[in-house]
Structure 1
Amino acid sequence: MEKNIEILANRDELIDRALDILLAKITEALQTRNQFTIALAGGSTPKPLYEALAQQPLPWNQIHVFWGDERYVSPDHPDSNQLMARRAWLDQVNFPATHIHPIPTAANNPRADAEQYNRELEQFFDLHAGEFPTFDVVLLGMGDDAHTASLFPHTEALTVEDRLITVGDKDGQPRLTFTVPLINHARCVMFLVTGANKQEPLAAVFASKADAMTYPSRLIQPVGELWWLLDAAAGANLT
């Protein structure tokens, strides 16, 4: 694993840096594999990154978009990660509908929808049983409890190693999420973290020893590159 930690002056500079890295990864993937795959994060932090992507003259027909996690709500719900990304980016450009791969939430059965997305990933990446896909980029955020995707502290989802998608639990509310081994198979994982309320969890995530069940972001150790992009408020106490 190649680990990179950068502290940027503010959120705008963080987004600019994230865009630069992402555009480089897109160029590299298209040159070597003729296709780029990305798993998006939810929350407010990546929204300006998606808006910036919408301004780029990219070959959308060579890009496939997935989501690393999703709240168990309808696609038109205000809390939907899919809805946010569509409004900020995907609906703003001529993006092929068949290249958008949202997490299903319509079965009224989170485990059934998790299995459906699991099958979609297996088919798209042409996987055999027990294999994990290799995303070009997985975007992640981190909460003030050190959760990432929908991998929350002391929840069963943290221990799932034999599936691509599992059901996460946020205060009794189901969410669908990439599993830890799926994230860790990515060529590049990029955390975008802002705000002074992230100082304490970051200290634990970067500590030489800490409990990963308490600080789930510690579990993210990809085979490829790991980027932590922090604004000055989040990274104030790091050396």
Structure 2
Amino acid sequence: MNAAVSDRITLVRHANPEAWTDGVAKEMETVLAHEIEQRGRARMLLSGGTTPAPVYETLAELPLEWARVEVGLADERWLSPQDRDSNAWLVRNSFLKHAEGAHFDPLVRIGKPLAECVHDANLQAQHSQPACLVVLGMGNDGHTASLFPGSRDLGWALASTQTYAALDATGCPVANGWPLRITLTPQGFAPIGTRLLLLRGQQKLDVLNAALESNDVARYPVLAAINAPGPRLRVHWCA
């Protein structure tokens, strides 16, 4: 493991995928254990996708008091939590079914309209223990969570004063046929003490460097997580 610190991010390079998986899971365990020791409970926000799934599986095997851990989502597709393409399904099957006792709060509630789900998510964010940790990914287009460049609601979501916002990514190819989303906003990133961005492959590192050089958050929304106040974004990368 090799960490490089800049004034904007901490880039942690891992020798191989196994070291990457173990290193990220161990850092998450350390953050959660410290929060439990200090506050009695810990809350974290997770992202979907295939990249973090091995990390979640490894984390669930570590000896934490999972009954003291609450789990939420950084974003979600407008799908039932039981749909295999939802982030909720991935988190349940890669993490929750192994971390016995952990409590999960999905963003989508069956039978409720999108606006009401967003309202409920923001109410919960206001009244729950603040998240101590968020795990993020990044697409090759520079999006993170569901903040997609070129989406019609991006400007509104970036300027929102709420923790979560609805976003319509119609016309964004990487939305993969699920344009309606609920996403964490820059306001939502800001109070989280540990923000982890998980990247694999040279192309993702090139996109990250392009984002840092451009400093154009509308083109590279991952900058919303990089530029959020507080501790530097920690980027875990391996080839």
Shorter chain as denominator, the TM-score bin is 0.7 to 0.9
Does 1:146 find its partner at 2:142? yes
Q: CA deviation at 1:144?
A: 0.3
Q: CA deviation at 1:79?
A: 0.8
Unaligned runs of 5+ in 2: 1-6, 172-178
Secondary structure, counterpart of 1:216 in structure 2: coil
Secondary structure, counterpart of 1:92 in structure 2: coil
Which residue does 1:135 correspond to in 2? 131
Which residue does 2:233 correspond to in 1? 226
Q: CA deviation at 1:113?
A: 1.2
CA contact (8 A) 2:29 2:62 kept: no
Which residue does 1:91 correspond to in 2? 97
Does 1:24 find its partner at 2:30? yes
| Equivalent position amino acid for 2:211 in 1 | V
Root mean square deviation, CA, Å: 1.9
Which residue does 1:160 correspond to in 2? 159
1:140 and 1:166 mapped to 2: Cα distance?
Answer: 16
| Equivalent position amino acid for 2:114 in 1 | P
| Equivalent position amino acid for 1:218 in 2 | L
Q: CA deviation at 1:119?
A: 1.4
Q: CA deviation at 1:225?
A: 4.0
Describe the shift of the 1:196–1:2 C-alpha distance in structure 2 as closer, same or farther (beyond 3 A).
closer
Q: CA deviation at 1:163?
A: 1.2
Please, which of 121, 125, 129 is the counterpart of residue 121 of structure 1?
A: 125
Q: CA deviation at 1:84?
A: 0.8
Please, which of 205, 209, 217 is the counterpart of residue 212 of structure 1?
A: 217
2:233 and 2:215 mapped to 1: Cα distance?
Answer: 19
2:112 and 2:42 mapped to 1: Cα distance?
Answer: 31
Q: CA deviation at 1:25?
A: 0.6
Which residue does 2:200 correspond to in 1? 194
Secondary structure, counterpart of 1:120 in structure 2: helix
Does 1:12 find its partner at 2:18? yes
CA contact (8 A) 2:78 2:181 kept: yes
Q: CA deviation at 1:193?
A: 0.7
Report the TM-score, using the length of structure 2 for normalisation.
0.85
1:47 and 1:36 mapped to 2: Cα distance?
Answer: 20
Q: 1:156-215 CA distances to partner (integer Å, 9 max, x unpaired)?
A: 2442321111112333510111111111221010000112332431121222x4311000
Which residue does 2:104 correspond to in 1? 100
2:27 and 2:211 mapped to 1: Cα distance?
Answer: 23
Q: CA deviation at 1:224?
A: 2.6
Identity %: 27
Which residue does 2:71 correspond to in 1? 65
1:104 and 1:38 mapped to 2: Cα distance?
Answer: 17
CA contact (8 A) 1:2 1:224 kept: no
| Equivalent position amino acid for 2:39 in 1 | R
CA contact (8 A) 1:104 1:116 kept: no
Q: 1:128-155 CA distances to partner (integer Å, 9 max, x unpaired)?
A: xxxxxx4200100000001000011133
Describe the shift of the 1:137–1:2 C-alpha distance in structure 2 as closer, same or farther (beyond 3 A).
farther
Report the TM-score, using the length of structure 1 for normalisation.
0.85
Describe the shift of the 1:225–1:135 C-alpha distance in structure 2 as closer, same or farther (beyond 3 A).
farther
Secondary structure, counterpart of 1:48 in structure 2: helix
1:27 and 1:86 mapped to 2: Cα distance?
Answer: 21
For these two proteins, the number of residue pairs brought into alignment is 221
| Equivalent position amino acid for 2:163 in 1 | L
